[in-house]
Structure 1
Amino acid sequence: MQRLGLVTVVVRDYDEAIAFYVHVLGFRLVEDTDLGDGKRWVVVAPRGARETAVLLARAASGGQEARVGDQTGGRVGWFLHTDAFDHDHRRLRAAGVVFEEAPRHEPYGTVAVFRDLYGNRWDLIEPHRPSAPGGTGSGM
């Protein structure tokens, strides 16, 4: 069996990234370990996440610094699933998260693109749930 454990977001500063992901997005701080020489192993995860978490990695070179905020060439790089889109959308907006668009309804669910503190693009998405047996829902 395989599973995706961590995905990396390159950040400018550990503490400002922790503040955004924990206090604004509402993630939990899973680990913050000092590795020496100014390096830390910082892992955050959405509350309720069971497998995949985010490794916040401080840029360590000019090339990495240049990628902060543009790790995916302007495409949405991360998909934050929710089962309470309206609630989370309101909460994030109230916390200052910048959404690029109004929520939209797609065949796969309700979605809106937002930017993290560095400008990386994320989807906040509530996927459609499969219908009960015999139902007509589209599922995913």
Structure 2
Amino acid sequence: MPHLGLVTVVVRDYDEAIAFYRDVIGFQLLEDTRIDAEKRWVVVAPPGARETAVLLARAMTGEQEARVGDQTGGRVGWFLNTEAFDRDYERMRAAGVVFEEQPRREPYGTVAVFRDLYGNRWDLIELNRTDAPQSADGGT
């Protein structure tokens, strides 16, 4: 079955982006391979991620540079799921992540919007856990 392997975040500089995503948000650096004198293949992901990771792609043209920090027209473009919202929210705040709001409870879970080092908007989100499925005889 196909799955989403990578999503791209256009960045100004590879090393500053690596430092932010690894040291501030807490992602793991999965790959940093030099392609040529100007391009690298840089992949980061949250610890334990099995399918989707983030490709940090340095802007190479004026058009790409204009998109750094506003890839989604001001909308939240990425959703960082957690199973321990309070822990991760406090860790990220202490590391310097700028949250736009206090955490809020929604019908689907707990969420707060933050910005990456370029201004792209992300949700830190802990989805509500569903009840354990019932067995065929009606018990849990």
TM-score class, shorter-chain normalisation, is over 0.9
TM-score normalized with structure 1 length: 0.94
Structure 1: runs of 5+ lacking an equivalent? 135-140
Cα distance, 1:38 vs structure 2: 1.3
Structure 2 partner of 1:8 = 8
Structure 1 partner of 2:97 = 97
Q: Deviation digits for residues 23-56 of structure 1, max 9, x if unmatched?
A: 0010000000000121000000000101000000
Structure 2 partner of 1:50 = 50
Determine the C-alpha separation between the residues in 1 that align with 2:112 and 2:131: 23
Structure 2 partner of 1:137 = none
Please tell me the root mean square deviation across aligned C-alpha atoms, in Å. 0.6
Larger Cα-atom Rg: 2
Look up the equivalent residue of 2:108 and give its one-letter code: Y
Q: How do 1:1-140 residues align onto structure 2 when only pairs under 5 Å count?
A: 1-134=1-134
Cα distance, 1:133 vs structure 2: 2.8
Determine the C-alpha separation between the residues in 2 that align with 1:133 and 1:88: 28
Divergent runs of 4+, >4 A: none
Equivalent pairs counted in the alignment come to 134
Does the residue aligned with 1:78 lie in a helix, a strand or coil? strand
In percent, how many aligned pairs have the same letter? Answer: 78
Determine the C-alpha separation between the residues in 1 that align with 2:91 and 2:36: 36
Cα distance, 1:132 vs structure 2: 1.4
Does the residue aligned with 2:35 lie in a helix, a strand or coil? strand
Structure 1 partner of 2:137 = none
TM-score normalized with structure 2 length: 0.94
Does the residue aligned with 2:130 lie in a helix, a strand or coil? coil
Does the residue aligned with 1:70 lie in a helix, a strand or coil? coil
